[in-house]
Chain A
Amino acid sequence: MHKLLARQLRRCFGSSDAVPADVQPLAQLVDESYEAFDADRALGERSIAIASTELTEQNEQLQRNNKALQVAHDQLRQQTIIAETLFQLGQIIAAELDLQKILSSVTQEATKLLRAQTGAFFYNVIDGEGQKQMQPVVCGISREQFSQIELSRLTTIFAAAFENEGIIRIADITSDPRYAELVSIAGASDISPTPRSLLAAPVVSRTGEVLGALFFAHEKVNVFGEWDERLLRGIAAHAAIALDNARLYQAAQDAGARLAHQAQHDALTGLPNRVLFRDRVQRCIERAKRRSDYHFAVLFLDLDRFKVVNDSIGHAAGDQLLMIVADRLKKCLRAADSISQIGVDFTVARMGGDEFTILLDDLTNREDANLVAERIIESLGQPYSIAGHEALISASVGIAHSDPSNDSPDTLLRDADAAMYTAKSGGRARFAVFSAATHDSALARLRIETDLRRALERDELRLFYQPIVCLEDRRIAGFEALLRWERDGKLIGPAEFIPIAEDTGLIVPIGTWVLREAVRQLQTWQRRHPQLSDLTISVNLSRRQLLDPKLLDEVRDVFSKSGLDPNLVKLEITESMLMQETQESIKTLNALREIGVGLQMDDFGTGYSSLSCLHMFPLDGLKIDRSFINNIAGRRDCVAVLQAIMTLAHNLNIKVVAEGLEQPEQVVLLQALECDYGQGYYFAKPLKPELAEQFALMPPVLAKSA
């Protein structure tokens, strides 16, 4: 029974046992109530106590969480500081061009941030000789103190450490046996206090190259923590960018200087180029305006037949030749100074290709330019030894003198160029001085060049046909197709335009046209007159054509399209071409023979007249030049030579054609020498196609007197 109820019952009834029976159920209910109340209260109090404990625990946990949050917050703040510092370093690197200043800033900021006493940044730079040089930037230590440290020993120690560990963080180097040597190095200097904590990192470029290293030290032990290591990693990355950038900047500057030089100089010879040359001429022009006694000259030099040489010996050898030419030019101009007392300043330049220019500054005599030109022509005329071969080449020089009315370098260059052409057309290996006449002829030449480009499309080219007669029976054996240009209603001979066509390369399409037209003409005749089925046609082949890689295809195409027997076509090649030809062109000649066309040597007797060479080429014909024929009257030696040529040619199964036959005696003589064919005014001049057709149809006897 609940104590309280027992007490109450005792008070009411004297004793709890004395409770009347009818009150007992009530007492029972009251007892239950009291007990329940107590139990409820106990349970309530207990649960409040437990909840309170739980809340206290939760509170403690919250406080712990708070602390963790505070730590995280501090770390975040630290990270923010690092990020800000790295950002500032990035800005310094981006804004500052002077490497020394950048690295000083980086070292100082890093020393401050890492709370180090001393900081150092060793970095490699490439010196003028391309050698790596180690440079130090220091902070918290004087250069004098620092210079006592043997950098090379330090480098060796750390190179190995970086290799193994990347970033090095040492709590106390004095107690770390790996750094005993470092301690001794520091001890040997008067650096005080002696560093104990050490933090160092290599500075590595994007390409993995070690560009340098950052070092930070403190006299206390265990100064640098994990955060400092992370920070240093970022700083090292920034330093690497700075060094990388510095290198790129240096490289860009070098490249700029190189480009500037390249822009003004010729890459092959190292001579000034057109740009620089024009500049110098311009300066001379300015000076000439101010000083009436001042005079200068521009020389324009072109190597004769260089294209031929270049094509035949190869471009590499051609380049070598140009370098020798440049060298000789410089030498003989320097020599001109001392030997002939010309006393001029000069500039030698290469315009491109085989064209060189020379500026003779402050000439005392106009004629001195001629002396220089002569010396140059003489010097360049000496044999060249290139890749085991000996080559001969000449130069033509044009001279243009300063003229007060002339204020453009280009005009002077153009005049010198025109004079050079005059010299060249005068027979090469000579010089010419520009005059008004030179100017006119140069203009004329320029006009021809322009018009010639259009001649093909305007259908202005014509073929004339000169008969080739069999000397034995006076039968018409064939014709040589000869090119004329009908320009403004006037016929122009090949001498006036073929050299220009050769120079400009127009000769290649023109030559192809000639072959097609000649073949077409021959076919037309043969279709009309079956008795002319043996008639042959000779066509001149230019040097440029022979070197043209498309020649064989063109020739094959002509015959496959026309269906004409290739045997009826003879291609004429000059002696000089053959003498200079290479393996490549001999292959082309053999291929032409395989196609079936005949090959004739033209102009025999104008050059080397090397009989010994005849058997080297797949020739089936030989044309003796008119100049040789002109000389034979009354010259026994010439006759003897002709006799020898005939014998040799016949032995080699080569037919001989005598060109330029004009006199009956010449015909008789050659007939007597058993020359196979004759060609010349004696028989007929070059004929228009209609006349040639009629001529071919005449009986042999008539042909003689036509």
Chain B
Amino acid sequence: MKIEQAVWKASEAWNPGLLSDLGAAAQLVLLFGSTAAIGDDALMNRVRSLYPNAYLFGCSTAGEILATQVFDDTLAITACAFEHTTLRTAEVNLSDFADSFAAGKSLARAVSHEQLAHVLVLSDGLGVNGSELVKGIVQNLPPGVAVTGGLSADGSRFNKTLVCAGGASTSGKIAAIGFIGDRLRVSFGSMGGWDTFGPERIVTKSAGNVLYELDGQNALALYKRYLAEHAAGLPSTGLLFPLSIWNSDGGQPVVRTILAVNEADQSMTFAGDIPVGCHARLMRANMERLIDGAQGAARTCYESLNGSAAELGILISCVGRKLVLKQRIEEEIEAVADILPGTALTGFYSYGEISPFTPTARCELHNQTMTITTLREV
């Protein structure tokens, strides 16, 4: 696999100077950028002209990752020329389906192939029920094929997210790439690193990914009590207190972050399901632990690489982590790079991460995690 990377900044244009070596050889260009950049048709056309045979695949973000740096308001591109792998792409519009599950099912069917090695999915970040989408994909993929990916973001604005598939960027879109071939080695890992604190609560009223009450009390009021003056920054400041939820049957806890609040019906919309009867506990950040978490995800990847270096690492990390780590955000990327030296890194800060915690676990939608997918052709 041959890879070349560049970042475009409104102020500085391309860096490094966009002199494509791969050119027509590239089959895939991953693009992560601000909503403005991804939505900029001229910019897109420029990329397409550089890689005329590549499939342009990307989304809007809350921060772009390239190598060990994190950028805002840029477009980070990674062009890939596979030697033994072909791609199968698909895109759907959420509005064409009754629900997210059906959309996921349609995508999975479209990319399925007998030599399907892995699926990478990017989804609209606001209008989707990520849990249902993942369920729809996973249940319709051939056995043993995993899916990773994430929900697109819009900075900390939660306003408009875009998915770019084949160069056209629209909201309400979900796109997927199926990697076909038996010489691609895929590894992945995901970890949060947040601390739970305070009382354990029970979800007493919810509908899908919309939460109303915890322990019979208004959930939004609870958040406002904890956020105090930060409550004005909802929904993004809600990311400071993610919710850890788990079933009473002993399943692994998953983390949920807030996508939206509705003052009218006092509800909060999360990036995944919050079923009634679940146990829930607030979480808060500990910077060192977040960074350790990112490194943990990288270590999970590394363990299944059997000592070989991956060629490409796609890092999808949560916007909530960036909000907390602020100036220290690059520390978590550096922590990953320490474990995966020699691997080209790209990725973005998202509204939701899709991955199994480990290569053998069930694929789920996560929040507040660092999720890493590595690719290597052999």
**A interface residue numbers (CB < 8 A to B):** 29, 32-33, 36, 40, 43-44, 46-48, 50-51, 54-55, 58
Whether a CB of chain A sits under 8 angstroms from the CB of B97 is no
Instruction: For A47, give its contact among B198, B199, B326 (CB under 8 Å).
Output: B198
Question: Using Cβ atoms and an 8 Å threshold, which residues of chain B touch A54?
Answer: 198-199
Q: A33-B327, A50-B226, A51-B282 are in contact. Are A43 and B197 (CB under 8 A)?
A: no
User: Chain B, 191-227, contact with A by CB distance < 8 Å: what is the 0/1 string?
Assistant: 0000001110000000000000000000000000111
Interface pair B199/A46, CB less than 8 Å apart: no
Question: Using Cβ atoms and an 8 Å threshold, which residues of chain B touch A40?
Answer: 285, 324
Q: A29-B327, A32-B326, A32-B327 are in contact. Are A51 and B198 (CB under 8 A)?
A: yes
Give the CA-CA distance A50 to B241 in the complex, in Å.
13
Give the CA-CA distance A158 to B228 in the complex, in Å.
69
Interface pair A55/B284, CB less than 8 Å apart: no
Q: A32-B327, A51-B282 are in contact. Are A43 and B199 (CB under 8 A)?
A: no
Give the CA-CA distance A495 to B324 in the complex, in Å.
136
Interface size on B, residues (CB 8 A): 16
Instruction: For B241, give its contact among A32, A47, A48 (CB under 8 Å).
Output: A47
Name B240-269 residues within 8 Å CB distance of A. Answer: 240-241
Whether a CB of chain A sits under 8 angstroms from the CB of B48 is no
Question: Using Cβ atoms and an 8 Å threshold, which residues of chain A touch B135?
Answer: none
Instruction: For A55, give its contact among B198, B226, B230, B326 (CB under 8 Å).
Output: B198
Interface pair A55/B199, CB less than 8 Å apart: yes
Instruction: For A50, give its contact among B198, B240, B324 (CB under 8 Å).
Output: B198
Question: Using Cβ atoms and an 8 Å threshold, which residues of chain A touch B241?
Answer: 47
Give the CA-CA distance A349 to B226 in the complex, in Å.
108
In the A-B complex, the 9 residue pairs with the closest CB atoms: A51-B198, A54-B199, A36-B326, A58-B199, A47-B226, A51-B197, A33-B327, A55-B199, A50-B226
Nearest residue, chain B, Cβ from A55: B199
Interface pair A44/B198, CB less than 8 Å apart: no
User: Could you pull out 21 A-B pairs where Cβ atoms are within 8 angstroms?
Assistant: A32-B326, A33-B327, A36-B326, A36-B327, A40-B285, A40-B324, A43-B227, A43-B228, A43-B230, A47-B197, A47-B226, A47-B282, A50-B198, A50-B225, A50-B226, A51-B198, A51-B282, A54-B198, A55-B198, A55-B199, A58-B199
User: What 9 new A-B contacts, CB under 8 Å, besides A47-B197, A50-B198, A50-B225?
Assistant: A32-B326, A33-B326, A33-B327, A36-B327, A47-B241, A54-B198, A54-B199, A55-B199, A58-B199
CB distance from A52 to the nearest CB of B (A): 8
Instruction: For A44, give its contact among B199, B228, B230, B284 (CB under 8 Å).
Output: B284
CB distance from B325 to the nearest CB of A (A): 10
Q: How many contacts A-B (CB < 8 Å)?
A: 35
Interface of A: prevailing SS: helix
Nearest residue, chain B, Cβ from A33: B327
CB distance from A519 to the nearest CB of B (A): 100
CB distance from A656 to the nearest CB of B (A): 116
Interface pair B197/A48, CB less than 8 Å apart: yes
Interface pair A46/B228, CB less than 8 Å apart: yes
Question: Using Cβ atoms and an 8 Å threshold, which residues of chain B touch A46?
Answer: 226, 228
Nearest residue, chain B, Cβ from A57: B199
Interface of B: prevailing SS: helix
Give the CA-CA distance A44 to B326 in the complex, in Å.
16
Question: Using Cβ atoms and an 8 Å threshold, which residues of chain A touch B285?
Answer: 40
CB distance from A33 to the nearest CB of B (A): 6
Give the CA-CA distance A54 to B240 in the complex, in Å.
19
Nearest residue, chain B, Cβ from A32: B327
Give the CA-CA distance A47 to B231 in the complex, in Å.
13
Give the CA-CA distance A55 to B225 in the complex, in Å.
15
CB distance from A42 to the nearest CB of B (A): 9
Question: Using Cβ atoms and an 8 Å threshold, which residues of chain A touch B197?
Answer: 47-48, 51
Give the CA-CA distance A618 to B180 in the complex, in Å.
127
Name B311-360 residues within 8 Å CB distance of A. Answer: 324, 326-327
Question: Using Cβ atoms and an 8 Å threshold, which residues of chain B touch A48?
Answer: 197
Give the CA-CA distance A530 to B284 in the complex, in Å.
136
Give the CA-CA distance A122 to B366 in the complex, in Å.
78
CB distance from B359 to the nearest CB of A (A): 34
Give the CA-CA distance A43 to B324 in the complex, in Å.
11
Give the CA-CA distance A61 to B236 in the complex, in Å.
33
Nearest residue, chain B, Cβ from A44: B284
Interface pair B199/A51, CB less than 8 Å apart: yes
Nearest residue, chain B, Cβ from A36: B326
CB distance from A32 to the nearest CB of B (A): 7
Give the CA-CA distance A47 to B241 in the complex, in Å.
10
Give the CA-CA distance A51 to B228 in the complex, in Å.
13
Question: Using Cβ atoms and an 8 Å threshold, which residues of chain B touch A50?
Answer: 198, 225-226
Question: Using Cβ atoms and an 8 Å threshold, which residues of chain A touch B284?
Answer: 44, 47
Nearest residue, chain A, Cβ from B215: A58
Question: Using Cβ atoms and an 8 Å threshold, which residues of chain B touch A58?
Answer: 199
Give the CA-CA distance A550 to B284 in the complex, in Å.
110
Give the CA-CA distance A48 to B199 in the complex, in Å.
11
Nearest residue, chain B, Cβ from A35: B326
Give the CA-CA distance A50 to B324 in the complex, in Å.
20
User: Chain B, 273-286, contact with A by CB distance < 8 Å: what is the 0/1 string?
Assistant: 00000000010110
Question: Using Cβ atoms and an 8 Å threshold, which residues of chain A touch B226?
Answer: 46-47, 50
CB distance from A76 to the nearest CB of B (A): 27
Give the CA-CA distance A516 to B41 in the complex, in Å.
131
Nearest residue, chain A, Cβ from B326: A36
CB distance from B24 to the nearest CB of A (A): 42
User: Chain B, 286-297, contact with A by CB distance < 8 Å: what is the 0/1 string?
Assistant: 000000000000
Give the CA-CA distance A47 to B230 in the complex, in Å.
12
Give the CA-CA distance A33 to B327 in the complex, in Å.
7
- Residue of B240, B282, B326 with most chain A CB atoms under a 10 A cut-off: B326
- Residue of B198, B241, B327 with most chain A CB atoms under a 10 A cut-off: B198
CB distance from B181 to the nearest CB of A (A): 46
Give the CA-CA distance A55 to B281 in the complex, in Å.
12
CB distance from A684 to the nearest CB of B (A): 119
Give the CA-CA distance A50 to B326 in the complex, in Å.
25
Nearest residue, chain B, Cβ from A51: B198
CB distance from A30 to the nearest CB of B (A): 9
Question: Using Cβ atoms and an 8 Å threshold, which residues of chain A touch B199?
Answer: 51, 54-55, 58
Nearest residue, chain A, Cβ from B198: A51
Nearest residue, chain B, Cβ from A59: B199
CB distance from B357 to the nearest CB of A (A): 26
Question: Using Cβ atoms and an 8 Å threshold, which residues of chain B touch A29?
Answer: 327
Nearest residue, chain A, Cβ from B327: A33
Give the CA-CA distance A522 to B324 in the complex, in Å.
136
CB distance from A149 to the nearest CB of B (A): 59
Name B112-154 residues within 8 Å CB distance of A. Answer: none
Nearest residue, chain B, Cβ from A56: B199
Nearest residue, chain A, Cβ from B240: A43
Nearest residue, chain A, Cβ from B225: A50
- Residue of A40, A46, A47, A50 with most chain B CB atoms under a 10 A cut-off: A47
CB distance from A333 to the nearest CB of B (A): 97
Question: Using Cβ atoms and an 8 Å threshold, which residues of chain A touch B227?
Answer: 43
Give the CA-CA distance A36 to B230 in the complex, in Å.
13
Nearest residue, chain A, Cβ from B197: A51
CB distance from A516 to the nearest CB of B (A): 95
Give the CA-CA distance A297 to B8 in the complex, in Å.
146
CB distance from B224 to the nearest CB of A (A): 11
Question: Using Cβ atoms and an 8 Å threshold, which residues of chain A touch B240?
Answer: 43
CB distance from B227 to the nearest CB of A (A): 8
